[in-house]
């Protein structure tokens, strides 16, 4: 009888624990809502296929010689980004510099010095708390007769960041500034061991403690083989790894505004590709910052000179960019910053 009572008590404890978890998730979901959906939609409408296309064509042009880290082509691409933010009157937390310089000594394999490019819009209520939208700016460079333009990798992500920065700036000018600061971070050296993000998280411009989330974009302009019959998708990686709340905010943003298929297959630790560990968001996650990695999956032109601008699916790039913008909008404007769940670590 004693054994039976102990067993029964364990079952009851387990049931209560499950119930508490279920109720917690239900309450969490119920608390996530876009009360300003019409305002969000107004600025989503400023993110356009045509402007994204112009950014991708410009950033993946031969002019930048494949944007290899530490080389003149990438330096020129960094200047292109800085000039864009200056033209949009979007400031940098670094003042007039916009560059977080990374010395040659931080790289390996004889790579020369490089830079992250950083712009931001200061929050009007919680300016010290920041949401970082990031994308890497470097690619594979060129050989004697071939340029690796990297239109998808990562011209697509770079274009998305530029277009979102413009939308947030327009909202600010029209009386809807973000409550938290929003940072637009173009990272160098992703192709060489995530060096730019490793440097930023070691020497952060904004403390990791005050970094609410990192939304990282790396290849969102194409369709992989698994989705040839359903291009209306995006891989979402890492959203639930550190913050259950972030996962449901992402899902709510999608349900409210974009209705993409959020594919979580590559988020699994059993996936042999281990993408969660392979792009810049991972260095933020290692510091305890909740992350989402947006990715379209690999395709036949991945890291090939044939990754060119005319192959980008621009209507799909627009839709994916809008999902990220809506998610970022919620994160910077919610009354309370998202929490890291101990159970989810």
| pLDDT score, position 10 | 56
Q: Which two tokens stand for residue 339?
A: 């929490």
* Integer angstrom CA distances of residue 261 from 7, 38, 236, 258, 293: 43, 23, 10, 9, 15
| pLDDT score, position 345 | 43
- Token look-up 């309370």 returns 336
* Cα 308 off chain centre by: 22
Local confidence pLDDT in tens for the 345 residues of the chain: 455 555 555 555 555 566 587 888 888 999 999 999 999 999 999 999 999 999 999 999 999 999 999 999 999 999 999 999 999 999 999 999 999 999 999 998 899 999 999 999 999 999 999 999 999 999 999 999 999 999 999 999 999 999 999 999 999 999 999 999 999 999 999 999 999 999 999 999 999 999 999 999 999 999 999 999 999 999 999 999 999 999 999 999 999 999 999 999 999 989 999 999 999 999 999 999 999 999 999 999 999 999 999 999 999 999 999 999 999 999 999 999 999 995 544
| pLDDT score, position 21 | 77
Residues 6+ apart with CB under 8 A from 305: 146, 147, 148, 149
Evaluate the omega torsion of the peptide bond into residue 154 and state whether it is cis, within 30 degrees of 0: yes
* Integer angstrom CA distances of residue 275 from 265, 269, 272, 281, 343: 11, 9, 9, 10, 22
Distance CA 243, CA 26 (A): 15
Helix axes 314-333, 49-59, angle to 10 degrees: 100
Tell me the pTM: 0.94
| pLDDT score, position 22 | 87
**Structural domains in the chain?**
31-344 (3.40.630.10)
| pLDDT score, position 59 | 98
| pLDDT score, position 1 | 46
């Amino acid at each position: 009888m004693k054994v039976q009572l102990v067993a029964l008590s364990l079952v009851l404890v387990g049931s209560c624990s499950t119930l508490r978890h279920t109720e917690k998730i239900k309450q969490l979901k119920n608390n996530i809502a876009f009360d300003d959906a019409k305002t969000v939609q107004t600025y989503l409408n400023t993110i356009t296929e045509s402007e994204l296309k112009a950014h991708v064509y410009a950033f993946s042009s031969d002019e930048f010689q494949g944007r290899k880290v530490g080389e003149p082509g990438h330096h020129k691409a960094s200047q292109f980004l800085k000039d864009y933010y200056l033209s949009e009157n979007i400031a940098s937390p670094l003042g007039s510099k916009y560059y977080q310089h990374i010395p040659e000594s931080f790289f390996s394999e004889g790579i020369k010095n490089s830079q992250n490019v950083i712009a931001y819009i200061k929050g009007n209520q919680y300016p010290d708390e920041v949401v970082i939208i990031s994308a890497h700016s470097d690619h594979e460079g060129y050989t004697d007769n071939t340029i690796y333009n990297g239109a998808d990798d990562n011209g697509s992500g770079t274009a998305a960041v530029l277009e979102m920065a413009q939308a947030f700036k327009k909202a600010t000018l029209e009386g809807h500034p973000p409550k938290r600061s929003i940072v637009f971070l173009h990272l160098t050296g992703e192709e060489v061991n995530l060096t730019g993000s490793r440097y930023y998280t070691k020497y952060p411009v904004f403390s990791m403690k005050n970094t609410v989330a990192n939304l990282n974009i790396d290849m969102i302009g194409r369709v992989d083989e698994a989705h040839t019959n359903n291009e209306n998708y995006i891989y979402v990686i890492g959203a639930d790894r550190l913050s259950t709340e972030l996962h449901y905010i992402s899902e709510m943003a999608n349900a409210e505004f974009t209705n993409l298929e959020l594919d979580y297959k590559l988020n699994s630790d059993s996936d042999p590709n281990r993408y969660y560990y392979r792009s810049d968001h991972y260095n933020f996650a290692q510091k305890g910052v909740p992350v989402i990695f947006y990715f379209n999956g690999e395709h036949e032109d991945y890291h090939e000179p044939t990754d060119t601008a005319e192959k980008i699916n621009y209507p799909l790039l627009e839709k994916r960019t809008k999902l990220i913008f809506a998610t970022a909008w919620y994160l910077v404007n919610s009354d309370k910053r998202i929490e890291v769940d101990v159970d989810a670590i």
